[in-house]
Amino acid sequence: MSVEESNERYVGETRPRGTAILHHVNLKTTRKEAMVEWYVKVLNMRVNVDVGLAAFLSNDRANHRLALTTIPGITFNENKRFHDGVHHTAYEYATFDELNELYLRLRDEGILPKVCIDHRTSWSYYYEDPDGNMLEMQVDDLGDWDLSTQIMRETTSIENAPAHFFGISVDPEQIAAARAAGASFEEIKERTAAFEFSTGEAKDYNTPEILPDFAVKW
């Protein structure tokens, strides 16, 4: 289906009647206890109920945003990165400072992100849970869903995409140091566009070199 066809059913920003929105993710796991502990720590989730075979967690008013299910007979898939299915789930902060504080908190507990990217529409730190599922912890780069959506909609092909459309890798430690030294998020984004905080590998993801990273690291 084309971009245009998918948009025809909307009237401005009004969704067609009967549109459901994302409510929760259910992950199968062979190590439920470690997963529960990790999600409670990283996402400040609360366990609303744990019935042994499954735990239901949430960090807002929904009765659960995450289910962790352990089904007898399932096996750990150590090669999940190379199979189809979910690539990552994403969780959003309202402010850059909260994401930066998450990085510092987890770093001090020995949990480091796998890759950090300023996507120019979102500022994203990617973490692996104990099963190797990827999570994207993000904040909207523009602080405004309408603006970042507009950028996406105005990008009709890779040829007219904004600079660094897929993003620039950043070193979260350097970012945290810049913030601690008083740099604002706006200033940090400007300095990122000049590659000041790059990790030195795959600095700009607007290249075919993204593919090995995408398959292996993300």
Question: Using CB under 5 A as the criterion, which residues of the chain lie in contact with Fe ion when the complex forms?
Answer: 90, 136
| Residue closer to Fe ion, measured from CB, 165 or 183 | 165
Q: What is the DSSP string of 27-86?
A: EE-S-HHHHHHHHHHHH--EEEEE-SSEEEEESSSSS-SEEEE--TT----TTGGGSSS-
* Minimal distance, residue 90 CB to Fe ion, in Å: 5
* Minimal distance, residue 183 CB to Fe ion, in Å: 25
72-92: string of b/e by CB count within 10 Å (b at 16+)? eeeeeeeeebeeeeeeebebe
* Minimal distance, residue 136 CB to Fe ion, in Å: 4
Do 140 and 122 form a contact (C-beta atoms < 8 A)?
A: yes
Strand order, beta sheet including 54-58:
25-28, 66-69, 54-58, 46-50
* Minimal distance, residue 214 CB to Fe ion, in Å: 11
| Residue closer to Fe ion, measured from CB, 131 or 136 | 136
| Residue closer to Fe ion, measured from CB, 118 or 136 | 136
* Minimal distance, residue 177 CB to Fe ion, in Å: 26
116/118 Cα distance (integer angstroms)? 7
| Residue closer to Fe ion, measured from CB, 32 or 65 | 65
| Residue closer to Fe ion, measured from CB, 36 or 124 | 124
